[in-house]
Amino acid sequence: MIGLEPVARPDAPLARRNPVAKLAAALLFAVPLLATLDPVAPAIAITIELAVLPLFGVRYRVLFRRVWPLLAAAVGVLVTLVLFAADRSGRVLLDAGPVVVTSTVLLTALGLVLRLFAVALPGVIVFATTDPTDLADALVQNARAPARFAIGALAAFRLLPLLGQEWQMIVMARRARAVEAGRNPVAKLRLFVSTAFTLLVGAIRRGTRLAVAMDARGFDAGVPRTVARRQHFGAADWLLVVAATVVASAALGVSVALGTFRPLVG
């Protein structure tokens, strides 16, 4: 189900870092890893990610619950590669019609699957340890995001759990009014689409009212806003960002030094 509760201990040393720092670190760590297809660099990255996990106060079980769908994606990668790998050099392990499995194919598959996890994990960890309100505050105070947009998005985000309840209410209201699909799958799909549409309409209506309520409390009055919740971006936050960059580069460096590096383009 959709969970909004933080899943981490808030006092863990890295979970406490500034949300912008965490987000920047996650991106600076993940994006360079996209540049290679080899298994070595992502393997190093994953090792590091798992090693720092306790510092974020996230338990391994929680992380696994969030990322297990990636295992399915990994299977997809494997199937696709067996059928459509660009590079089929190396020792042939299996040859059955269109299915040609070579050592290179397997190595590429390993690289892609590891990369999938290496790239996804930092973001998953960061978002699991970040409160939306803090993220919006930090984006405004430390990343110079426009306050009206960040706060507006945050206010809309608050509606999210309500949308789940609203969905149930719409379904019940329709049943009470004799609107029902029965067993016909086409009718079911149509009812699903119409329920989703009603939900969207309701959400926009709520949004319009919320905007009025925000204006009523001086949201767009043209006065410079002050901030009630200070977000600090200190030395430790810089350190996190720099460390993420250095470690990601180091992982790539090791891969280059070992001669396994395979650039994405070229």
Partner 1 sequence: MSQSTTTRWRTVDIVVAAVIAVGFGVIFWAWGLLWRAVDPTFAFFPASQAVMYGVWLVPAVLGGLIIRKPGAALFCEAVAATVSALLGSEWGAITIVQGLIQGLGAEAAFAAFRYRSFRLPTALLAGALTGLGAALFDFFAWNAAYELGTYRIPYALLTVLSATVVAGAGGYALTRALAGTGVLDRFPAGRERNLV
Partner 2 sequence: MGEVRLRGFGWRHAGRRAWAVRGVDLRVRHGERVLLLGPSGAGKSTLLAALAGLLPEDSGEREGSIEIDGRPPAQTRERVGIVFQDPQSQLVMARSGDDVAFGLENQGVPAGEIWPRVDEALHRVGFPYHRHRPTAALSGGEQQRLALAGVLALRPDLLLLDEPTANLDPAGADLVRAAISRAVDDDTTLILVEHRVADALPLVDRVVVLDAGGGVRVDGPPDAVFTDHGDALAADGVWVPGRQVPARRAGNPPGEVLLTADRLGQPPRLAATDLAVRAGAALAVLGPNGAGKSTLALLLGGLLKPGTGRLVADAGLAGADARTPPHRWRAPALARRIGSVFQNPEHQFVTGTVFDELALGPRRTGASEAAVRRRVDELLQRLRLDRLAGANPYTLSGGEARRLSVATALATAPRLLVCDEPTFGQDRRTWRELVDLFAELRDAGHALVAVTHDAEFVAALADRTLTLARPPDTGVAPPVAPTAPSVTAPSPEPPPPATPAGYR
Asked if residue 206 binds partner 2 (CB under 8 A), the reply is yes
Q: How far is the CB of 256 from partner 1 (least distance, A)?
A: 18
Asked if residue 147 binds partner 1 (CB under 8 A), the reply is no
Residue reference for tokens 């933080």: 6
Asked if residue 132 binds partner 1 (CB under 8 A), the reply is yes
Asked if residue 48 binds partner 1 (CB under 8 A), the reply is no
State whether residue 191 is helix, strand or coil.
helix
Quick one: CA dihedral 246, 251, 252, 257, positive or negative? positive
Asked if residue 11 binds partner 2 (CB under 8 A), the reply is yes
Beta bridge partners of 102: 92
Enumerate residues 39-68 that contact partner 2 by CB under 8 A: none
Enumerate residues 231-250 that contact partner 1 by CB under 8 A: none
User: Which listed residue (47, 197, 227, 257) binds partner 1 by CB under 8 A?
Assistant: 197
Of 172 and 204, nearer to partner 1 (C-beta) is 204
DSSP H/E element including 93: strand 92-96
**Backbone dihedral region for residue 217 (phi beyond 0: left; psi -120 to 50: alpha; all else: beta):** alpha
Asked if residue 161 binds partner 2 (CB under 8 A), the reply is yes
- What does the alpha-carbon distance between residue 126 and residue 104 come to, in Å, rounded to a whole number? 34
* Per-residue tokens: 60: 């391994």
- Which one of partner 1, partner 2, none is in contact with 133 (Cβ closer than 5 to 8 A by kind)? partner 2
Asked if residue 253 binds partner 2 (CB under 8 A), the reply is no
- Which one of partner 1, partner 2, none is in contact with 223 (Cβ closer than 5 to 8 A by kind)? partner 2
Residue 155's Cβ-count burial label (10 Å; 0-12, 13-18, 19+) is middle
Q: How far is the CB of 152 from partner 1 (least distance, A)?
A: 4
- Which one of partner 1, partner 2, none is in contact with 3 (Cβ closer than 5 to 8 A by kind)? partner 1
User: Which listed residue (74, 131, 233, 249) binds partner 2 by CB under 8 A?
Assistant: 131
- Which one of partner 1, partner 2, none is in contact with 232 (Cβ closer than 5 to 8 A by kind)? partner 2
- What does the alpha-carbon distance between residue 232 and residue 122 come to, in Å, rounded to a whole number? 22
CA of 259: how far to CAs of 38, 86, 114, 182, 239, in Å? 10, 20, 18, 62, 30
